[in-house]
A and B are shown apart, each in its own frame.
Chain A
Amino acid sequence: MTGLLVLAVLATLLAGTCFAVLLDRAQPALVAEFFRSRVETEAPDRLNRDLAPAWYLALAAIGLSVVPFAPGLALIDSPAGIVIWGSCEALIVVTVFLHGWAPNAPFPLIGAYRYAALALPVMLPSMFVLIAAALPAQSLSLIAIVDSQREIWNVIRQPLGLPLFLVVALALTLRGPMDYADGADIATGTSAEESGAARATWYLARAAMLVSVSALAATVFLGGPLGPLLPGPVWLWLKTAALMALTAWLGHHVARPPPGRMLTLLWIALLPLSFLHLAISGVLAL
């Protein structure tokens, strides 16, 4: 059974990544990119520069492996599954920062610090939203959270949860309004000095992360593998694909405010809103 689950996670990640690449408006010439030579910067931190794309990809895989593919069945069946996902989120911020810090060049460094300053306040609503979803289940296990949605999905029971988590999803996949790391306004930021296989891997890792975040959102808010007629994994794939399309659409259609204004928005509006959401969910779950 474990072998089957490993296979399911890898297949989902692979197929989902292809779907995510198709969702993007413009794709880089991926195959050609893999054979292009690398541009060197002066005195880079080689270890982190070479490993950051791999870490990003690995975090996408770990994040996906806590998601239940059928009721009661997840590759990493931990009593604190949602905290594992939270750790992945925090390490994603570190990875994106190191990806921009390592080349030792101005634009990547600006992207790295800008992203760190904006992604950290996003971590707080993320934790509040996920803890709120754990309240009706009375458990931090994602399997229990799926089971708690048999009567009614969290997206209806906790209406603020999914919209708030979509902001987190945009931040973790460096997309649209939350793309402060690799934005075009600073010449693709943390990726500005990157070329060849490393650039292609980073792009693919961003696509894989979209799969992982969407699968988690589908599990926490849309009942994951729950649904009539079709088998569990198919429902999970359908819901994940729908959330991927929604996140990509938001990324394409919502404008990115200046970093200062976004920072104010995150601390003044989003954080109190998520706290209110947690308080309401807590009272309802009593």
Chain B
Amino acid sequence: MTDPVTDLVLLLLTGFAVWTGWRVFRVDSMVRASFSLMLSFIAVGAIGLLLSAPYIGIATVFMMAVEMMVMAIFMVMFMMNPAGLNPMMMVHQHGVSIAAGLAAFLGLGAAILLSAPPSDPVPPQAPVVAQLGHELLGPSMLIFETAGVTLLATMVGAVILSSRQGRHGAADEGSRPPGLTAGGAPAGRTPGEEGGPGHHHHHGGHG
């Protein structure tokens, strides 16, 4: 890391990552926030390339692009402002957020200042990608496979929970929407308000 050009690129990438990370909370739309976060991670991936971790750096770009796109899809499925073009507030729970941010900043800052980071340059000809592969499918296999299967189970569970079709019928049938005030009566129309049970199935799916 004595090369001044590398140092300059590293500084610029770090600045870009921090700036786009800050933009995530300043923009007024979910789409802009998602893709600002993606840019931030792409800068971090490029720093990975500089740190002689080509696979991790490039895979970060790949994973984050897919992940942010999935987020946009989930947005249209679950959010009230699906298009993401209407202005909306991107920050909430100010007190907790400020406390968490300060604690993380002080903790990470202390970790950097108080610990002695290792100086162990990678030789240019080292087969780093192969070494990473041997590590992932060797000593660390149990950890990564456990994490992978847990994530997969979580995803399958989330899809099952959010899916409309279920073993006991459509998910929106017989369910009660939350009240407009805390502990208040459920919002929207109540079952049996129009027609009665005989007509019920005609309205299914649009609740």
Contact = CB atoms under 8 A, between A and B. Distances in A.
Interface of A: 43, 45, 78-80, 83-84, 86-87, 90-91, 93-94, 97-98, 101, 104, 109, 113, 116-117, 120, 123, 139-140
Contacts of A43: 85
A87 B61 contact: yes
B83 A94 contact: no
B55 A80 contact: yes
Interface of B: 31-32, 35, 38, 54-55, 58-59, 61-62, 65-66, 68-70, 72-73, 76, 83-85, 127-130
Contact of A80 (B54, B66, B85): B54
A97 B85 contact: no
A79 B85 contact: no
Give the interface centre of A78, A80, A97 by most chain B CB atoms within 10 Å: A80
A280 to B, nearest CB: 20
A140 B55 contact: yes
A97 B66 CA distance: 12
A91 B61 contact: yes
B65 A93 contact: yes
A123 B31 CA distance: 21
A94 B68 CA distance: 8
Contacts of B85: 43, 45, 101, 104
B66 A123 contact: yes
B128 A97 contact: no
Contact of B54 (A79, A113, A116, A117): A79
Given A79-B127, A104-B85, A94 B73 contact: no
Contact of A83 (B58, B65, B72, B73): B58
A90 B54 contact: no
B65 A116 contact: no
Contacts of A90: 61-62, 65-66, 69
B65 A84 contact: no
Contacts of B61: 87, 90-91
Contacts of B130: 79, 139
Nearest to B65: A90
A117 B65 contact: no
B163 to A, nearest CB: 13
Contact of B73 (A84, A113, A123): A113
A94 B38 contact: yes
B59 A83 contact: yes
Contacts of A117: 73
Given A45-B85, A79-B128, A140-B129, A120 B69 contact: yes
Contacts of A84: 58
Given A86-B58, A87-B59, A91-B65, 7 more contacts: A83-B59, A90-B61, A101-B84, A109-B83, A113-B72, A113-B76, A120-B73
A78 to B, nearest CB: 6
A97 B72 contact: yes
B55 A79 contact: yes
B35 A94 contact: yes
A61 to B, nearest CB: 16
B16 to A, nearest CB: 15
Contacts of B69: 90, 93-94, 97, 116, 120
Nearest to B77: A117
Nearest to A127: B62
5 nearest CB pairs, A to B = A90-B65, A87-B62, A87-B61, A79-B129, A83-B58
15 contacts: A45-B32, A78-B54, A79-B130, A80-B55, A83-B55, A86-B58, A87-B58, A87-B61, A90-B69, A91-B61, A93-B66, A94-B69, A98-B35, A117-B73, A139-B130
Given A104-B85, A120-B69, A140-B129, A86 B55 contact: no
B124 to A, nearest CB: 12
Contacts of A101: 31, 83-85
A93 B70 CA distance: 11
Given A87-B65, A90-B62, A113-B76, A120 B70 contact: yes
A79 to B, nearest CB: 4
A83 B62 contact: yes
Contacts of A80: 54-55, 58-59, 129
Contacts of B129: 79-80, 140
Contacts of A87: 58-59, 61-62, 65
